[in-house]
């Protein structure tokens, strides 16, 4: 227990915690995306999936666990950022790149804020929003995505998610010590592919729904 406590309270230990929580969240994204894609199948299939999920006996513990993972990921990351700034209060006049600095790495805090905002709005509207009927989550989703404004907000947040993942995914493996001239480029490539695939798949849902609704709002 004492050894575990030293690891968790050390700088590298905290980075490992952030990386682990981030990878767990990536796993959740894949599962959540798979469920959302039922929207393409049709109203009955999507509502059946939603009903199955909402009546799952362990839903509340799973949701609390997921919230805990996200909260730990956020709080420990903020702690690491603040301690880093405290150790080096004056910013360098010129930011030098060592070949690893990307748009994803340089905007992590901003994309994280955008994703956090999206989660709050997403939960408030699509989880607790008023449905046409208790069993019709499909109707609620389609109603929101009948507006190009909501589509643009959703797609924009998914672009931020993709940018965040493009750095976070491979960085997590680097934190775990997977850093080799032969394998790192492959992991970076997989991270980019994962980020693009997930963000585009999520963004395609509101775009498809809006087009399927037809007409103009």
Whole-prediction pTM? 0.86
How far is the C-alpha of 163 from the C-alpha of 40, rounded, in Å? Answer: 25
Give yes or no for a contact between 14 and 79, defined as CB atoms under 8 angstroms apart.
yes
How far is the C-alpha of 125 from the C-alpha of 113, rounded, in Å? Answer: 18
Per domain, the residue ranges of the chain are: 2-88+105-213
For the domain spanning 2-88+105-213, the CATH number is 1.20.1300.10
What digits encode the pLDDT tens for the residues 10-20?
Answer: 888 889 999 99
What digits encode the pLDDT tens for the residues 144-176?
Answer: 999 999 999 999 999 999 999 999 998 998 888
What digits encode the pLDDT tens for the residues 45-70?
Answer: 999 999 999 999 999 999 999 999 99
Residue that has been written with the tokens 């963000």 in this structure: 199
């Amino acid at each position: 227990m004492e050894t575990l406590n030293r690891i968790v309270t050390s700088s590298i230990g905290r980075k490992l915690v952030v990386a682990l929580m981030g990878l767990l969240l990536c796993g959740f994204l894949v599962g959540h995306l798979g469920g959302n894609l039922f929207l393409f199948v049709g109203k009955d299939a999507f509502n059946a999936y939603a009903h199955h999920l909402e009546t799952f006996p362990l839903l509340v513990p799973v949701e609390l666990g997921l919230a805990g993972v996200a909260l730990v990921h956020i709080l420990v990351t903020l702690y690491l950022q603040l301690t880093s700034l405290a150790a080096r209060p004056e910013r360098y006049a010129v930011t030098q790149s060592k070949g690893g600095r990307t748009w994803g790495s340089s905007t992590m805090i901003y994309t994280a804020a955008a994703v956090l905002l999206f989660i709050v709005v997403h939960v408030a509207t699509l989880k607790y929003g008023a449905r046409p009927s208790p069993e019709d989550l499909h109707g609620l989703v389609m109603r929101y995505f009948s507006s190009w404004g909501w589509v643009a907000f959703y797609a924009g947040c998914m672009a931020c998610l993709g940018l965040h993942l493009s750095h976070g995914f491979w960085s997590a493996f680097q934190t775990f010590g997977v850093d080799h001239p032969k394998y790192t480029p492959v992991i970076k490539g997989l991270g980019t592919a994962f980020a693009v695939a997930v963000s585009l798949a999520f963004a395609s849902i509101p775009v498809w729904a809006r087009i399927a609704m037809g007409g103009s709002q």
